[in-house]
Chain A
Amino acid sequence: MRIEVAGAGSGKTSRMAMRVLSVDAPDRRIVYCVAFTNAAADNIRDRLIRQNGTIPDNIKISTIHSFLYSELVRPYYHLLYGSKYKKISTISLPSTPSYRRARLSELESMQLLHQVAIPERAKWVVYGRAQDNARTKAMRAEVVAMFAGYCHKILVDEAQDIDKDIRDVLLALDHAGLDIELCGDPKQDVRGYGCFRDLVDTYLNNVSYSCECHRSPQLHLQVSNRLACEKEKQVADETNSIGSIDILFEADEDVNGLIASGEFGLAYISRKNDRFNTHENIDGDADFNSLQHELNVAIKEKHGGAMTELEVNRLAYYIAGQMIASARDDRTIRLAISKGINDGCYDYDAKRYARMAEALTVNDCTENNAIAVKSIEAIKGLEHEKCLFILTTDLAPYLLGDKTDDNKTKHILYVALTRSLDNLTVLVTKEVEARYTRQQIRDVFGAEAS
């Protein structure tokens, strides 16, 4: 396993594209290039096409979930564990762990694999699970050997997003002799998995560092480097902007007007509060999927013997669309669900009724007068000339050096400081100002900050 630690703005993606193209795979053997989001995978694809004209047949670019499912779970899981998943489910899951587990096993019993469980199943395929018997282990050895027979190399981008299951998958494949290359920045591990950091520490001799930054002005790096260990401190490319840092205080500003001005390409906060809202929780697609799933189950329960699979799916899809179109508030939601019962499509069931209602309830973020900004997690990988960073009390102690432990919060702060190509404007919230003086805060950013 080889690892490249590359800080923010070091040109990881374009290097990844070059590296993929430079791999010389014999005999049609496959090179997998894996990213963590669809956007990142598309980005690598675009770059490959720009550099090479087309994507060579033997290069497969995908998201990590798609890779783990299509390349490990779908082809091999049934050989080891007998059952096969019909498809992937993307329905919303309850946040309470016990409900969540119950929901996952309910899907499992319907031969549906929820996307969140893909890494774990992939791990079972190549790494194992505690209760495996000798037969399963023997088959696993064959499966891994088969995979190694056509997989020439696996390149993983944004490796800081590797969680425990994915880490174990990669370790098992590495153990089987596969050529694996990871590229990422442990300082941007905003989920706090810590797995990439562990790998960097374990494979110490195979780690290279790329410390040049093509994005941020040196001025910004002076601040962000305080969060980096010695080896990972970055240096700005000579061609980068000189840059500037502005410090504003919420107490002095018309924040609404500031953001509405459109002056900032990115405006972000670590997490929403009573004045700032982040938009992540609205996912219309997931709601439709959840509703359609509930309807599918309900219709099949009532009409399973008399209707074909296709007819059930078709009806569920149709009713879900009708329900979403008509449901506006609690009253219309109740009406929409009852209509299906009255029409004889499905029977009343308290649990299912509640789930349908939940799927139909749209999270309305415009209710309060909160200002819409992005979460820092959501802007990972993005950059802009002018960025507005709203400094909150969770991040401030790390910025001022009161807290230094290497965790999720510190990583979020690092990401926040490294987005701008030119101007970084820091908006200090009232709560932060209640804890630290303006002078203390200005000192962090140095003399050039205004």
Chain B
Amino acid sequence: MKITRVQIENYRNLRSVDAQLDNLVALVGENNSGKSNFLRAIALPFASDDNNFGKNLSWFDINNEAKAEYYAFIDARKADILDGSIDAETLCQHVPVITVVVDIQGSAADGYDLKNLLVNENNSPVARLRYRWLVGDAPKLLNLTKDLLADGTDVCEIEMSLLPMNLYKHTIDVPDTIGGSRIPYETLSRFRHISLPAERDNFAASADRLGSRALVGLFQSGIDANGQKSIEQGYGDLLSTIRKAAKLDAVINWQEYSNVPNAGDFFKKISILPNMPQMSSILGSIRLGYSNESLAFQGLGHRNLILMAVMLNAYLNEDRDLSLRVVSVEEPEAHLCVNNVLLMASLLKVFGGKNTHTQILYSTHDAELVNKVGLDRVIVLHGGTASSLKQELTADELDYLTNNPNTDIFKLLFSRRLILVEGITEELLIKAYLQAHTALNDVKVLSFHKGYRNIIKIWKKVNTGSHNRLGIVRDYDNQPKAKADHDALADEQICVRTTAGYTLEEDIVKTGTNHALLVGKYGSIYGWEKMSDEDLQEDWRNNRKADVMLKICQDLIAGELAGFRMPQHIQDVLDFLLKPVDSGSSAESGIS
């Protein structure tokens, strides 16, 4: 059983999200893109083991745009609100509501578990849970709003007071009819969410604590009535051993051991009572190690790996009282070395292949954890929107990305300023050129052999509407049609440039005074002294391609090639990428 679709509205930076999920989900995106918020939001419709994120939210959890719209409405209709021409119902339509809706699918036999969650969606039954954080009493909010605004106070001064959280309440229901149906507790408690948050770092970190609440919870759920009984009896045995060894009775009930004759008349016998600690405290104080060496001596990465493997294995085991268990993990790759990242990826992969009643969602910044589980299981978060690659891309496009196994999906899709080049020489040159300039930049250069057109389409799907920019540097290769096809894909976020000559070398030599500069600097080394620009570029291209470029790059960085000019097509791309965001197309700034 799994969540197949999630819709989130107005939760933190997630203004409006509608994404399809598989039983294993990798969330990718830049920092602040909303990955953690996505994981938190998806927990809201479910019963939860940990109280870290309660079902009651705060003013800060409501999306800022949604709030701004509401305040703008109030501001614009202030007079109407005060004179009563806006009723509670109208006001209520504008009040921000946080909504998280999950659709759940299972096997035919799972139908029993889902039967009370069914909704008619285009004449098909769909099992659906809905969490809402909404105003329960609209007339009360209207009256409050009137009171607050009556003295002419500015809306922007009292924003928090205008949306008081004590008028909000949370509901979890099935949106099957107008108003929805409440879900009986016994049904809801079968749908659980568990999070393995960043507290993993504490696991086995010190010698005296286990340091993982999730693991303690797991131990605890494994204790049955007989286990409980034997622990309690064992504790009683321990206490009587302590009692004897520490001579507790003789100390406490001294009157019975003392030679003061009538002490017993004044001091009655005191009982030594068992005071068994809470089970979580007992279980939390166990210590793990190899032989006698505590696990605390192991590195953070190793401990993280062990904990993750233990938890994943436990979640693979079926819990027959549960219908669905949603597990979210933030950055399972945390602190792992390259080899262990691969191991983690295959753990997740094994997990994803098993069809259990558990679904796992994780956020990651590691390409291995994306590539190995499959790009069709990736949700891309970007500036508060989420899209699954499976939904956004065609099967061919997905195959194309999958078939480039070394693609770093993160750099490809999320770099703020990205230049794609055809080969290593362009990559070297541009990197060196950027390094030679002291101005800050975040330009990423990736070489990519072929298929620019597919890449551009994919990039557009992920990046359209953002401030990210993509530059493409290509060789002409005497193919005018290919050039025209690529040029057609350019837009305000994408700049495509092709060499004027056959390849890069020809353009370098023919740009500005580069020919003279190269002859002067390298003529004696390569025998270029008497060569025309045409001969020089041909010799360079055919006989010493990488060699010369390396030399040029080194000298550029060392500042020994003053007056060297980038070929026009590369310069165009650089100008395009480095132009400040809001300055419009007329700006001339950038590195030159």
Residues of A within 8 A of B (CB): 27-30, 57, 71, 74-76, 78-79, 82-84, 135, 138-139, 142-143, 146-151
Contact = CB atoms under 8 A, between A and B. Distances in A.
A149 B125 CA distance: 14
Nearest to B121: A79
Given A29-B109, A149-B108, A142 B125 contact: yes
Interface stretch (B110-118, B194-202, B300-308, B553-561): B110-118
A150 B109 contact: yes
B111 A82 contact: no
A28 B116 CA distance: 17
B176 interface: yes
B153 interface: no
A138 B320 CA distance: 33
18 contacts: A27-B107, A30-B112, A57-B320, A71-B115, A76-B115, A76-B118, A76-B125, A78-B176, A79-B118, A82-B120, A139-B123, A139-B124, A142-B125, A146-B115, A149-B108, A149-B109, A150-B111, A151-B112
Nearest to A83: B177
A77 to B, nearest CB: 10
Contact of B120 (A28, A71, A139): A139
Instruction: Bin the interface of chain B by size.
Output: 10 to 19
A6 to B, nearest CB: 30
B478 interface: no
A78 B120 contact: yes
A62 to B, nearest CB: 14
B181 interface: yes
B510 to A, nearest CB: 70
B124 A150 contact: no
B177 A84 contact: yes
A379 to B, nearest CB: 36
Contacts, number: 57
Contacts of B111: 146-147, 149-150
Nearest to B108: A149
B177 A142 contact: no
Interface in B285-325: 320
A143 B177 contact: no
- Name the 9 nearest CB pairs between A and B, nearest first: A149-B108, A75-B115, A150-B112, A150-B111, A149-B111, A79-B120, A27-B109, A84-B177, A146-B111
Contacts of B125: 76, 79, 139, 142-143, 146
B116 A74 contact: yes
Given A28-B109, A76-B118, A79-B176, 10 more contacts: A27-B107, A57-B320, A71-B115, A78-B176, A138-B123, A139-B123, A139-B125, A142-B125, A148-B108, A149-B109
B116 A75 contact: yes
B304 to A, nearest CB: 35
A142 B176 contact: no
Contacts of A84: 176-177, 181
User: Looking at A82, A149, A150, which has the most chain B CB atoms within 10 Å of its CB?
Assistant: A150
A149 B123 CA distance: 19
Contacts of B176: 78-79, 84
Residue from A76, A142, A146 whose CB has the most chain B CB atoms within 10 Å: A146
B573 to A, nearest CB: 55
Nearest to A79: B120
B104 to A, nearest CB: 13
A76 B115 CA distance: 8
Nearest to A71: B115
Contacts of A71: 115
A71 B176 CA distance: 16
Given A143-B125, A147-B111, A149-B111, A82 B116 contact: no
Nearest to B176: A78
B357 to A, nearest CB: 10
B39 to A, nearest CB: 29
Interface string B73-113: 00000000000000000000000000000000001111110
A75 B128 CA distance: 12
Contact of B118 (A75, A148, A149): A75
B421 to A, nearest CB: 54
A30 B112 CA distance: 8
B500 to A, nearest CB: 63
Candidate in A57, A75, A82, A139 with the most chain B CB atoms within 10 angstroms: A75
Contacts of B109: 27-29, 149-150
A82 B176 CA distance: 8
Nearest to B181: A84
A147 B119 CA distance: 15
A148 B115 CA distance: 12
A352 B284 CA distance: 63
B177 A150 contact: no
Contacts of A83: 177
Nearest to A80: B120
A57 B109 CA distance: 14
Most buried by B among A28, A135, A148: A28
A285 B301 CA distance: 65
A149 B112 CA distance: 8
B155 to A, nearest CB: 29
A142 B108 CA distance: 12
Contacts of B120: 78-79, 82, 139
